[in-house]
Chain A
């Protein structure tokens, strides 16, 4: 087969869902740092979200499976620590998908802008730590529903 272009590879990776939050892709999450051909070997650099996030291993497996399914045979996956991942790298598409899914996207002010369920702005923090390393627990005083907030890092 012809060597697929780097743009095509990015499109393929944009179809691989995050294992914990499947409404966004790995590209939306901003953890794919580099896609590059070196001769006939495809190099993909991935950065971890949180250093202990158990999803990291699954993510690498999913990337490898997705690319092998498309016929990529020579693949090198590397872990890139620097610069460290930041929630600023979440795509706009990903942020909108998170909110629709019920997770408030990260906000520069360090707290959610509004309740992802009712849009209310009277909010309180329950805990800075949530069901995954990347999320905090919040509650809306308008609709009284608890919700996840994707916290800034």
Chain B
């Protein structure tokens, strides 16, 4: 049974990442600088919410208490969320949003590629589906980071500031704990630390092309994926995202 608990935790981490980032990105809907970017952000958010339905749907199934993906998304409070802190950070300007997206997409594309080989066929098939969508996400966010980084003086400065601000949240992606050990042992998911080399190579390549300087400070914030301590921003996000279910419990379309 212990492994089922660990699998549930692992699936929450996957689903909460895409849920919280998807919600953040959806906040841009109707506000992006140009129409094409507005559409691209909304599409990205939609894919992430779709992936959330698969991850949290499976999490509910594994937990075996009858909770649906909707129950897990709308009826948990901040301390039960397991997303990376990076995903819950406010959007900031357009540059910071796209930098956050790229730093996440790069990790997500590598993680999903590994999960396609998962020993759990349910995890493998979600990863196979999601990785096709994420391939488009990382292509776009990477291209935009290059375009803005190697753009005007102002866009360059804003992208460097975004990178400096976000970089301390990257390290959490590669932290491991007992849940990860159990996943590695069962062949379900890779050791998070094993993704670092490929990640640094991919991110380094894009940042160099974007004429941006990768921070060298190795300090990183943590507490999101373990649920130990989220930033204050998550609670504010949830008050908006969960408002309907809190005001009208059990409301349906």
Interface residue ranges, A against B (CB under 8 Å): 48, 50-54, 81-85, 126-131, 133, 137, 151, 153
Contact = CB atoms under 8 A, between A and B. Distances in A.
Interface residues of B, number: 26
Contacts of A126: 36
Given A126-B36, A129-B44, A82 B125 contact: yes
A48 B133 CA distance: 12
Given A50-B50, A133-B46, A153 B140 contact: no
Interface of B: 36-37, 39-40, 43-44, 46-51, 53-54, 121, 124-126, 128-130, 132-133, 136, 139-140
A51 to B, nearest CB: 3
Contacts, number: 69
B40 A52 contact: no
A81 B50 CA distance: 12
Contact of B130 (A51, A85, A128, A137): A51
A126 B49 CA distance: 25
B47 A50 contact: yes
Nearest to A133: B43
B133 A153 contact: yes
Closest 8 pairs (CB-CB, A-B)? A52-B50, A51-B50, A82-B125, A129-B40, A52-B46, A127-B36, A129-B43, A84-B129
B128 A84 contact: yes
Contacts of B37: 127
A84 B54 CA distance: 13
A130 B43 CA distance: 8
Contacts of B125: 81-82, 84
A103 to B, nearest CB: 16
A127 B132 contact: no
24 contacts: A48-B129, A50-B46, A50-B50, A50-B133, A51-B53, A52-B49, A53-B46, A54-B46, A81-B54, A81-B128, A82-B121, A82-B125, A82-B128, A85-B129, A127-B36, A128-B40, A128-B140, A129-B39, A129-B40, A131-B39, A133-B46, A137-B36, A151-B136, A153-B132
